[in-house]
């Protein structure tokens, strides 16, 4: 009987020790940030009666463009090949497929952190003879995106603390230490606009446009639990 009573007392004391007064709040953060990376793809293409001729001409234009782009000195310029294809082009005429020759295509993607200079790159491509440009995109780089998310996490945590202090103080209590933190959902910044395709005249004399990126929004939240003293 004494053993049973002691067991009950011990059980009650353990349960009492596990009861902790606490408050859980959600902290929010919304940041606007400016894109820091732009890219555009140029395509060197030629349609010729012979596949060999089409390949030679497209390759020559591709190499000329690559050389001229490197000479610009644009900040953090990166070049990458995106496509290479050779195929016969046929058109339907008089109820039959008629060969129009062979088309060779070579794609070159230019990426830079100097967004304002992208217009100059496109003007240069037109000048050397490139007639097709597509996938112009202005975005947030992974490095800057990570930096902005870290900054936003700190703001969200501080927001949670301020909320908890307001709640506890209004009830005449005191906020204690943090006992639990859970990172909430992170809404990734929306990708910048993509201009799918634009045809440019090689003899274009128009001035190069100045490119600007639209601000992007980062939103995240954290759930924080505090002890109440």
Q: Parse the chain into domains and list their residue ranges.
A: 37-140+195-210
* CATH number, domain 37-140+195-210, options 3.30.450.70, 3.60.20.10, 3.30.70.2970, 3.40.250.10: 3.30.70.2970
Tell me the pLDDT of the chain (229 aa) as tens digits.
444 443 444 344 444 444 469 999 999 999 999 999 999 999 999 999 999 999 999 999 999 999 999 999 999 999 999 999 999 999 999 899 999 999 999 999 999 999 989 999 999 999 999 999 999 999 999 999 999 999 999 999 999 999 999 999 999 999 999 999 999 866 655 555 544 444 444 344 456 677 777 888 999 999 999 999 8
The reported pTM is 0.72
How far is 38 from 43, CA to CA, in rounded Å?
A: 17
- Measured CA to CA, the distance from residue 89 to residue 191 in angstroms comes to 35
* Phi, psi (deg, nearest 5) at residue 36: -130, 15
Q: How far apart are CA 149 and CA 135, in angstroms?
A: 27
Cα separation values, 95 from 9, 48, 89, Å: 98, 23, 16
Instruction: Report whether 226 contacts 174 (CB < 8 A).
Output: no
The reported pLDDT for the residue numbered 11 is 43
CA dist list (Å): 148 to 33, 118, 160: 8, 24, 18
Which residues neighbour 81 within 8 Å (Cβ) at sequence distance 6 or greater?
106, 107, 108, 109
What is the predicted pLDDT for the residue at 104? 97
Do residues 45 and 132 touch, judged by C-beta distance below 8 A?
Answer: yes
Residue 128 to residue 202: CA distance in whole angstroms? 7
- d(C-alpha 190, C-alpha 187), whole Å: 9
Distance between CA 40 and CA 74 in Å, rounded? 14
């Amino acid at each position: 009987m004494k053993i049973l009573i002691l067991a009950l007392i011990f059980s009650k004391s353990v349960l009492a020790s596990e009861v902790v007064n606490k408050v859980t709040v959600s902290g929010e953060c919304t940041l606007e940030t400016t894109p820091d990376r732009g890219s555009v793809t140029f395509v060197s293409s030629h349609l010729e009666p012979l596949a060999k001729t089409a390949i030679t001409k497209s390759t020559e234009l591709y190499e000329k463009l690559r050389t001229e782009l490197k000479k610009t000195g644009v900040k953090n310029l990166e070049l990458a090949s995106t496509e290479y294809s050779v195929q016969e082009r046929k058109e339907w005429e008089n109820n039959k497929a008629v060969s129009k020759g062979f088309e060779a295509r070579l794609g070159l993607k230019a990426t830079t952190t100097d967004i304002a200079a992208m217009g100059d790159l496109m003007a240069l491509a037109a000048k050397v003879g490139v007639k097709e440009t597509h996938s112009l995109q202005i975005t947030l780089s992974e490095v800057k995106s990570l930096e902005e998310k870290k900054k936003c996490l700190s703001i969200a945590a501080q927001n949670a603390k301020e909320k908890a202090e307001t709640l506890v103080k209004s009830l005449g209590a005191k906020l204690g230490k943090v006992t639990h933190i859970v990172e909430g959902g992170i809404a990734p910044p929306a990708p910048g606009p993509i201009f799918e395709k634009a045809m440019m005249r090689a003899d274009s004399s128009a001035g190069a446009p100045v490119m600007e990126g639209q601000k992007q929004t980062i939103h995240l939240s954290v759930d924080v639990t505090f002890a109440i003293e």
